[in-house]
Amino acid sequence: MSIKKDTKSYILTIAGLDPSSGAGITSDIKTFEAHGLYGLSVCTAVTAQNDIDFKACNWIKKEMILEQITLLFDRFTIPVAKIGIVQSWETLLEILQTLKELNPSIKIILDPILKASAGFKFHTEENLEILENVLKECEFITPNYEEIKALFPEKTIEETIDFISEKTNVYLKGGHRTEKKGWDEVYYSKIVKMNIPPNTAAVFQKHGSGCVLSAALAANIANEKPLEDACKEAKWYTEQFLNSNETLLGVHNYN
């Protein structure tokens, strides 16, 4: 009996487990598969939550996270990884450095989740040097307006964008904007800014929509889409997800 060659394209999510599957690793996997990719996952935390309530977060030990990652790279070729919640900037930096050791050319999309949509706060300690090193290891960082303000509260949004853009590309999600709501902004190659307006007049709020956008962006990069197309198509996919129904839990469907 002959063994067929594995022709699947792999992509990795490193994030928390959400039992409702609206956010976290299970949401990312659904997004990846909708984009024709085989999603691998490393769990950073086990949460007790649903689409409206967040009760608890139990962090996975750093050593176990790194062991999960290493074993996956022993078996699979992984060109792109998306990262969600991690306990601390220090742990995140070790994860990033491990990924780069295992694949120096890997592209990493970081969704800097600081607070769950239900209000639970994740790590909030600040260490400027560590955070700078984190940013330098990433291909993209995908904050929303609340997250980018929280990263450097002493800076204006414009100053923060300038600071981060010197180190990595930024996809700034516009769902939390007070003006021009739904307008996303992409800053790349340090000097280029691209506005992405909404493609629909209204959307239905969804649990985990930020996870979906960053996972869609990672998937488009893994599928070797040009950068601007990867960003525009990630927004289009997320809008389809938001409008897939009127509940807080969306449906994934890529056409």
Spans of all domains in the chain: 10-243
Query: Which residues neighbour 62 within 8 Å (Cβ) at sequence distance 6 or greater?
Result: 87, 91, 94
Q: How many percent of the chain have pLDDT more than 90?
A: 74
pLDDT score for 177: 67
Separation CA 18–CA 217 (nearest Å): 20
pTM score, two decimals?
0.93
Token pair, residue 214, equals 């960053």
pLDDT score for 120: 52
Quickly tell me which residue has 């904007």 as its tokens. Answer: 177
Q: Assign 23 a pLDDT band (cuts: 50, 70, 90).
A: very high
**pLDDT tens digits, residue range 128-175?**
788 899 999 999 999 998 888 888 888 888 999 999 999 999 999 986
pLDDT score for 28: 98
**pLDDT tens digits, residue range 51-91?**
999 999 999 999 999 999 999 999 999 999 999 999 999 99
Q: How far is CA 29 from CA 42, 85, 205, in A?
A: 11, 15, 20
Q: Is 12 helix (H, G, I), strand (E, B) or coil?
A: strand
Q: Which CATH number fits domain 10-243: 3.20.20.70, 3.40.1190.20, 3.40.1010.10, 1.10.1070.11?
A: 3.40.1190.20
Token pair, residue 24, equals 């976290």
Q: Assign 200 a pLDDT band (cuts: 50, 70, 90).
A: confident
The answer to whether 83 and 15 are in contact (CB under 8 A) is: yes
Bridge partners (DSSP) of residue 11 are 39
pLDDT score for 148: 87
Query: Which residues neighbour 81 within 8 Å (Cβ) at sequence distance 6 or greater?
Result: 11, 12, 13, 14, 99, 106, 107, 108, 109, 218
Reply yes or no on whether the pLDDT at 251 is more than 80.
yes
